[in-house]
Amino acid sequence: MISVPFSDPAVMAEQMARMLWEIKAVHFQPETPYKLASGMRSPVYIDCRKLLSYPRIRSTIMDFAAATVVANAGFEQFDVIAGGETAGIPFAAMLAERLALPMVYVRKAPKGHGRNAQIEGHMPEGSRVLVIEDLTTAGGSMFTFIDAVRAAGGIVDHGIALFYYGIFADAETRFRDGKVRLHHIATWQNVLAVAREKHLFDAATLSEVASFLEAPLEWSGRHGGVTTLSKA
């Protein structure tokens, strides 16, 4: 399949945000903040894996991903699509199908037996690889996969996250220093904009979420969470 409909990035971002609300993949809960794996306290939570359970939505999202990559990177810039374990794997398979490219997946660490492989599939040395994840916060997990691909002889200049937090300065620095251009479809600001438009929450809730998005670590600290992000 090679069908890449182009669309305005703002339209795609808004539509993805609407889809996330429709399937209840995003949540606002400032009164009892979520504790994330990093130790950070957050009034927002997202589960992009839910996209897989809705065929019409997941198909549209993958159209958006293909359009984003082709418009921003080019038509003939990649040899392989790589999905990160575990959530990135199905999205890598679907994007590879869209772009008629081979697909591999990357483990978080070598599996520890057999060939002790970290990359599964066929990736010739020198392959130009696009790494995909369902979401990224500050880029740490994506660079686990990028570093593994590079160590195996792949070239990674681009990555795509379907959803990007877009609120951490450290993320911008990490991708810049790592010489990777990050592409994405939607962010928390898009999700918040739809929540405001549709009046999904009261003004106090929306204000608290906006406060978090403006200064997430400070908000976390005020609610008993960490005030710095791990570099891992």
Q: What tens digit of pLDDT does each residue of 137-158 get?
A: 989 999 999 999 999 999 999 9
**Of the candidates 231, 232, 211, 202, the residue with the CA atom closest to the CA atom of residue 41:** 211
Q: What percent of the chain clears pLDDT 70, i.e. is strictly above it?
A: 94
CATH code, domain with 204: 3.40.50.2020
Q: How confident is the model at residue 37 (pLDDT cuts 50, 70, 90)?
A: confident
The pair of three-digit structure tokens given for residue 230, joined into one six-digit string: 């791990």
User: Residue 180, Cα to own-chain centre: how many angstroms?
Assistant: 14
- Do the beta carbons of residue 142 and residue 136 sit within 8 Å? yes
- How high does pLDDT run on average in the chain? 94
Instruction: Please check whether residue 115 lies inside any domain of the structure.
Output: yes
Q: Is the pLDDT of residue 83 over 60?
A: yes
Note the pLDDT of residue 7: 80
Mean pLDDT (whole number) for 80-93: 97
Expressed as residue numbers, the domain containing 104 is: 9-222
DSSP conformation class of 36:
P
Q: What percent of the chain clears pLDDT 90, i.e. is strictly above it?
A: 88
Please count the structural domains in the chain.
1
Q: Is the pLDDT of residue 219 over 60?
A: yes
pLDDT (tens digit per residue) in 156-166: 999 999 999 99
CA pair distance 216, 167, nearest whole angstrom: 7
pLDDT (tens digit per residue) in 188-200: 999 999 999 999 9
Mean pLDDT (whole number) for 21-48: 95
Note the pLDDT of residue 110: 86
Q: Is the pLDDT of residue 232 over 50?
A: no
Instruction: Please check whether residue 118 lies inside any domain of the structure.
Output: yes
Instruction: Please check whether residue 22 lies inside any domain of the structure.
Output: yes
Instruction: Please check whether residue 38 lies inside any domain of the structure.
Output: yes
Task: Please list the residues that pair with 131 across neighbouring strands.
Answer: 82, 159
In the chain, the amino acid numbered 125 is: E
Q: What are the φ and ψ backbone dihedral angles of 113, each rounded to 5 degrees?
A: -155, 175
The pair of three-digit structure tokens given for residue 21, joined into one six-digit string: 């609300």
Q: Is the pLDDT of residue 230 over 80?
A: no
Instruction: Please check whether residue 35 lies inside any domain of the structure.
Output: yes
Instruction: Please check whether residue 228 lies inside any domain of the structure.
Output: no
Instruction: Please check whether residue 26 lies inside any domain of the structure.
Output: yes
Instruction: Please check whether residue 18 lies inside any domain of the structure.
Output: yes
**Of the candidates 199, 192, 193, the residue with the CA atom closest to the CA atom of residue 43:** 192
- Do the beta carbons of residue 160 and residue 183 sit within 8 Å? yes
The pair of three-digit structure tokens given for residue 83, joined into one six-digit string: 């999905």
